[in-house]
Chains A and B, each alone.
Chain A
């Protein structure tokens, strides 16, 4: 399978615990995005990387959230001291960007987080 891969697909954690999600983008895609989606809403942008550089973070990304993309390949999204409001689907997406137009973004299957 050469699509965007996310792990784990489902995570149940107790409030206050830390969780980490991993994303493996489509091979050779230089851009990687993290989104969060709650029930009945469209995906909300969290952050994105171009190669290994994190170029933008949303105001939604509180200090408890951190993302990395070492070596410009896979990425991790860590949530520290989880809260019930963090319960959502975390979506990773990737694209290959050569110019400012025609950027097609492909999503992974998502990682469901439930904080109890």
Chain B
């Protein structure tokens, strides 16, 4: 079992719709969770971090964390073509004292005009 799993996609949504991206992780004791956006040929860019169960909203983005289910999601409201990118879920497992991120393989999102 991979430490962090995401559906690779591609996930295609129409412009203006809600895009829902999902991620599961294996280390139950993980405390820190991140979503990065990566445009083709570019480096990852931090969008959201979340540390507590529940929802965290930032503009059109909402991160949701459920530690009991070991599940993290990212919702993008009013999706725009500029949101088309690969979204990477990353986790810092509890065993990791160095703060290194463990990434999923990423979900490719395509927003159609």
Residues of chain A whose beta carbon lies under 8 Å from any beta carbon of chain B: 31, 33, 40-45, 48, 50, 55-56, 89, 91, 95, 97, 100-110
Contact = CB atoms under 8 A, between A and B. Distances in A.
Given A48-B99, A89-B43, A91-B44, 12 more contacts: A31-B99, A42-B105, A42-B106, A43-B88, A43-B103, A45-B101, A55-B98, A56-B100, A100-B97, A105-B46, A108-B43, A109-B42
A61 to B, nearest CB: 13
B45 interface: yes
Nearest to A33: B100
Interface of B: 4, 8, 31-32, 34, 36, 42-46, 49, 51, 88, 90, 92, 97-106
B106 A97 contact: no
B19 to A, nearest CB: 18
A103 B106 contact: no
Contacts of B106: 40-42
A45 B100 CA distance: 7
Nearest to B6: A42
B56 to A, nearest CB: 14
Contacts of A42: 4, 88, 90, 103-106
